[in-house]
């Protein structure tokens, strides 16, 4: 399939046509599809200030900064903003540093007119830890269990295709962002990278969606047929369900985003369970693997799995749920 056709057949993410409240969010979660929440945060003070100028938004952010260092990713101009592995997958094409968000904001502003700047990006910086008071002025109209506002600040950067285990609402505050999303079942066609050696937590796709090497990753053409695209401007938001793959490109010279992850308070990590299962079971002799497959089917995946312990007294039917996040 020609590369132009691979990228041409992507579709747009559905947009919510009404305001967001708790009931609507519950319905969106149940549908298990990404949704654009156009203008959700258009009245946030941060968005309003950012519409005036980058400098005004920088001053607004710096007003809250308590100086606590945040993790900052820095890559050379040659990576063109795409944070990824190095060529032999022994390391990454960027360095991790730490510094106050005020210093980061000033640096990004100073680089706006540089033709080939370093890629620089602070991701998932909890507002309450680094910009206390910011989240009290910039809030969502829904209740999210244990969710905290996290800030993403940088220049033109490209976060490789990955998934999160938690539900996510991401809000663009300044700049523009393009989200390219793939359904969970496309993971085999996305050529998943190492599960144990990751760039920033979750595993990533090895495919560069801007220049996919279809000789090396031929099945990506099928994944691209199922891709959904969302272009967001300041004040726009997107809901991303758990395990939906998403690639995120920030295209302006100064970009700010906030996101909110949430999940059940007692949630444990299925990805961690998967990796432990690979180590414990995948390379066993065939008879043992077959025996354990049946256990997993009956105790985990069968529709009546919860009934398998019905013969036991109630107080010992369920396995305790330790919080391993």
210-259 per-position pLDDT tens digit: 999 999 999 999 999 999 999 999 999 999 999 999 999 999 999 999 99
**Per-residue pLDDT tens for 109-159?**
999 999 999 999 999 999 999 999 999 999 999 999 889 999 999 999 999
Predicted TM-score of the model (pTM):
0.93
Q: How many CB atoms lie within 10 A of CB 227?
A: 21
| Alpha carbon separation from 287 to 6, 66, 297 (Å, rounded) | 42, 59, 16
Asked if the model's pLDDT at residue 266 lies above 80, the reply is no
Asked if the model's pLDDT at residue 57 lies above 80, the reply is yes
The 3-state DSSP class for residue 42 equals coil
Rounded Cα distance between 173 and 137, Å, is: 13
Please give the average per-residue pLDDT across 282-294, as a whole number.
96
**Per-residue pLDDT tens for 68-101?**
999 999 999 999 999 999 999 999 999 999 999 9
Sequence-ordered list of residues with C-beta below 8 angstroms from that of 260, at least 6 positions apart, any chain: 140, 144, 147, 148, 149, 150, 168, 169, 170, 171
Looking at residue 145, its pLDDT comes to 84
Give one DSSP letter per residue of 252-291, joined into a string: SSSEEEEEEEE--TT---HHHHHHHHIIIIITS-HHHHHH
Rounded Cα distance between 179 and 247, Å, is: 6
pLDDT bucket at 292, cuts 50 / 70 / 90: very high
Contact 109, 55 (CB under 8 A): yes
Q: What is the residue-averaged pLDDT of the chain? A: 94
Sequence-ordered list of residues with C-beta below 8 angstroms from that of 139, at least 6 positions apart, any chain: none
Please name which of 155, 149, 163 lies closest in space to residue 237, comparing C-alpha atoms.
149
Looking at residue 5, its pLDDT comes to 47
Asked if the model's pLDDT at residue 318 lies above 90, the reply is no
Looking at residue 142, its pLDDT comes to 96
Strands 70-75 and 119-126: antiparallel
**Per-residue pLDDT tens for 21-42?**
999 999 999 999 999 999 999 9
Looking at residue 18, its pLDDT comes to 83
Structure tokens at 131: 């910009």
Please give the average per-residue pLDDT across 287-303, as a whole number.
96
Contact 142, 25 (CB under 8 A): yes
Domain 3-262 belongs to what topology? Jelly Rolls (2.60.120)
**Per-residue pLDDT tens for 169-196?**
999 999 999 999 999 999 999 999 999 9
Asked if the model's pLDDT at residue 3 lies above 90, the reply is no
- Report residue 133 CA to chain centroid gap: 24
Sequence-ordered list of residues with C-beta below 8 angstroms from that of 65, at least 6 positions apart, any chain: 100, 101, 102, 130, 131
Instruction: Enter the DSSP assignment of 209.
Output: T
Asked if the model's pLDDT at residue 6 lies above 80, the reply is no
- Report residue 264 CA to chain centroid gap: 18
CA end-to-end span of the chain = 42
Rounded Cα distance between 268 and 165, Å, is: 10
Contact 175, 234 (CB under 8 A): yes
Asked if the model's pLDDT at residue 325 lies above 80, the reply is no
Structure tokens at 111: 């680089």
Q: Domain limits of the chain?
A: 3-262, 270-316
């Amino acid at each position: 399939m020609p590369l132009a056709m691979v990228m041409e057949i992507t579709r747009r993410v559905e947009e919510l046509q009404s305001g967001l409240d708790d009931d609507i969010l519950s319905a969106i979660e149940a549908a298990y599809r990404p949704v654009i929440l156009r203008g959700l945060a258009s009245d946030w003070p941060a968005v309003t200030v950012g519409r005036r100028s980058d400098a005004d938004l920088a001053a607004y952010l710096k007003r809250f900064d308590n100086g606590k260092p945040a993790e900052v990713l820095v890559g050379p101009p040659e990576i063109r903003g795409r944070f990824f592995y190095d060529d032999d997958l022994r390391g990454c094409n960027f360095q991790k540093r730490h510094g106050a968000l005020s210093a980061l904001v000033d640096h990004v502003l100073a680089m706006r007119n540089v033709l080939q700047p370093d890629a620089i990006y602070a991701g998932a910086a909890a507002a309450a830890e680094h910009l206390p008071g910011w989240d009290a002025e910039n809030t969502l109209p829904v209740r999210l269990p244990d969710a905290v506002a996290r800030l993403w600040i940088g220049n033109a950067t490209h976060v490789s295709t990955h998934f999160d285990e938690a539900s996510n609402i991401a809000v663009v505050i300044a700049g523009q962002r393009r989200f390219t999303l793939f359904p969970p079942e496309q993971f085999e066609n996305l050529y998943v990278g190492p599960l144990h050696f990751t760039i920033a937590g979750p595993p990533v796709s090895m495919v560069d969606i801007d220049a996919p090497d279809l000789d090396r990753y031929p099945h990506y053409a099928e994944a691209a047929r199922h891709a959904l695209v969302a272009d967001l401007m300041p004040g726009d938001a997107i809901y991303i369900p758990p395990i939906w793959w998403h690639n995120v490109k920030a295209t302006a010279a100064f970009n700010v985003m906030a996101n909110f992850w949430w999940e059940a308070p007692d949630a444990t990590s299925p990805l961690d369970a998967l990796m432990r299962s690979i180590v414990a079971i995948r390379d066993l002799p065939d008879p043992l693997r077959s025996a354990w497959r049946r256990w997993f089917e009956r105790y985990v995946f069968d529709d009546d799995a919860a009934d398998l312990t019905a013969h036991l007294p109630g107080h010992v039917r369920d396995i305790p749920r330790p919080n391993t996040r």
